[in-house]
């Protein structure tokens, strides 16, 4: 009997930038190396190098296939379809605009890192590595395996990103038409059509070579060494812009009340239980939220367990409890890092609620 519960979709279908980097002729290179220990060194050097760069630019690495790395950029998550760069200039989407530039800077850094990786491999007596980089933008859905702690991505965008990889030149970059339409007007980059990817008689998809037009010689593996993510790291971390706050409570009236308190002050995302909240954090990335405000008595995951899991994902994420339970001293003794000011008793007044939020956020631009 074929099992039907190995992979579970998380119901978080969003538009993302998805990227894939793959070694050229890896089978032949591995056969030439022969020695298993040296093969592992060769592959791990490549995979770790690409993963470090991806994470330095805020990407989430989904998986590696031995000779390839698949990753995506949570900050390019857009609920509505975007077809042109100009659409990102409207309203409060300035961070989205910069997030797409950050994607291109990440891909360019990976390309420029080739000589650095080659030097490291040469020092180990290993051959230079050649790889291709591909990226595209579109809808994908997060999924989780029962046998793995890591999330996965499913959807046609993932498939296309992997398929068009072979159209890149050795140590080159290609992007799909969906991503090209968004980033084509960004300065500092040039685009040349690489050809058309065909799947069957009715599907023809344009693919473009991506080249950086300004030379950059900085160290590619130094954390936050370059790119829009680097330039605005402090803004992202300090939430100088509008903050994102998560509300978790199984009482819809409570969620509505707290959302009303915070209206006009930040982006508020409400969830009915801890399970939904964790799925969302997996989808948007560990640094998306500035603060989590949660009830304690919930199911199937209560507030205490939610706290432990959140801290495992992002130890720096602030958590505030609002509960009807009279057990503050007990909570303080079992929850490391929780202070008395992190726990409020229901019912709570608007003034006390906003004061507590402001103290935890430590953002002077957050109105009260």
Show me where the domains of the chain are located: 7-236, 239-361
- 249, 255 Cβ separation under 8 angstroms: yes
Query: What was the pLDDT predicted at 148?
Result: 46
- 132, 215 Cβ separation under 8 angstroms: no
Query: What was the pLDDT predicted at 211?
Result: 92
Q: Any alpha helices (H) in the chain, and if so which ranges?
A: 26-33, 36-56, 94-112, 114-123, 156-163, 177-183, 227-231, 233-238, 252-262, 274-284, 303-313, 328-334, 350-361
Query: What was the pLDDT predicted at 284?
Result: 74
Whether the predicted model's global pTM rises above the 0.75 cut = no
Is the pLDDT score of 129 beyond 50? yes
**How many Å apart are CA 267 and CA 244, to the nearest integer?**
5
User: Which pLDDT tens digit goes with each residue over 303-318?
Assistant: 888 888 888 888 878 8
In b/e form, how buried is each residue of 255-266, taking b as 16+ CB within 10 angstroms? bebbeebbeebb
> What is the dihedral angle through the alpha carbons of 194, 225, 227, 143, rounded to the nearest 10 degrees?
70
Fold of 239-361: Rossmann fold (3.40.50)
> Treating both helix axes as pointing N-terminal to C-terminal, what angle do 303-313 and 274-284 enclose, rounded to 10 degrees?
10
User: Which pLDDT tens digit goes with each residue over 259-273?
Assistant: 888 887 888 888 888
**How many Å apart are CA 75 and CA 228, to the nearest integer?**
12
**How many Å apart are CA 164 and CA 208, to the nearest integer?**
10
Rounded alpha-carbon distances, angstroms, from residue 19 to 129, 291, 292: 19, 29, 30
**How many Å apart are CA 115 and CA 128, to the nearest integer?**
8
Query: What was the pLDDT predicted at 151?
Result: 59
User: Which pLDDT tens digit goes with each residue over 157-211?
Assistant: 899 999 999 999 999 999 999 999 988 888 789 999 999 998 766 678 999 999 9
- Chain-centre distance for alpha carbon 288: 9
Average pLDDT value for residue range 102-128: 90
Query: What was the pLDDT predicted at 219?
Result: 61
Q: Which of 199-213, 230-244, 330-344 has the highest mean pLDDT?
A: 199-213
Q: ∠ at Cα 62 (59, 64), nearest 5°?
A: 115
User: Which pLDDT tens digit goes with each residue over 55-83?
Assistant: 888 888 887 777 899 999 887 876 445 55
Q: Which CATH architecture has domain 7-236?
A: 2-Layer Sandwich (3.30)
């Amino acid at each position: 009997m074929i099992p039907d519960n190995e992979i579970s979709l998380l119901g978080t279908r969003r538009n993302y930038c998805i990227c894939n980097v793959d070694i050229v002729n890896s089978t032949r290179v591995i056969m030439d190396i022969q020695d298993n220990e040296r093969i592992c060194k060769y592959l791990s050097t490549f995979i770790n190098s690409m993963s470090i760069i991806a994470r330095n630019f805020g990407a989430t690495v989904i998986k590696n296939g031995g000779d390839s790395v698949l990753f995506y950029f949570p900050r390019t998550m857009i609920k509505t379809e975007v077809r042109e760069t100009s659409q990102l200039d409207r309203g409060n989407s300035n961070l989205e605009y910069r997030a797409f530039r950050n994607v291109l800077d990440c891909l360019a850094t990976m390309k420029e890192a080739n000589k650095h990786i080659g030097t490291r491999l040469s020092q180990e007596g290993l051959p230079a590595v050649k790889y291709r980089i591909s990226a595209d933008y579109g809808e994908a859905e997060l999924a989780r395996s029962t046998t793995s702690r890591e999330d996965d991505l499913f959807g046609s965008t993932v498939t296309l990103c992997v398929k068009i990889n072979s159209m890149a030149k050795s140590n080159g970059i290609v992007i799909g038409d969906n991503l090209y339409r968004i980033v084509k007007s960004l300065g500092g980059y040039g685009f040349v059509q690489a050809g058309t990817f065909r799947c069957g008689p009715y599907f023809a998809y344009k693919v473009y070579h991506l080249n950086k037009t300004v030379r950059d010689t900085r160290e590619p593996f130094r954390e936050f060494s370059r790119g829009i993510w680097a330039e605005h790291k402090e803004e992202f971390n300090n939430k100088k812009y509008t903050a994102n706050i998560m509300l978790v409570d199984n009482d819809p009236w409570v969620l509505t009340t707290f959302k009303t308190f915070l209206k006009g002050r930040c982006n508020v995302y409400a969830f009915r239980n801890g399970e939904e909240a964790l799925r969302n954090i997996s989808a948007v990335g560990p640094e998306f939220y500035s603060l989590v405000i949660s009830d304690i008595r919930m199911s199937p995951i209560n507030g205490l367990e939610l706290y432990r899991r959140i801290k495992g994902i992002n130890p720096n994420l602030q958590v505030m409890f609002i509960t009807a339970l009279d057990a503050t001293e007990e909570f303080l003794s079992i929850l490391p890092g929780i202070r008395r000011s992190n726990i409020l008793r229901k019912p709570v007044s608007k003034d006390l609620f906003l004061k507590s939020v402001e103290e935890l956020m430590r953002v002077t631009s957050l109105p009260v």
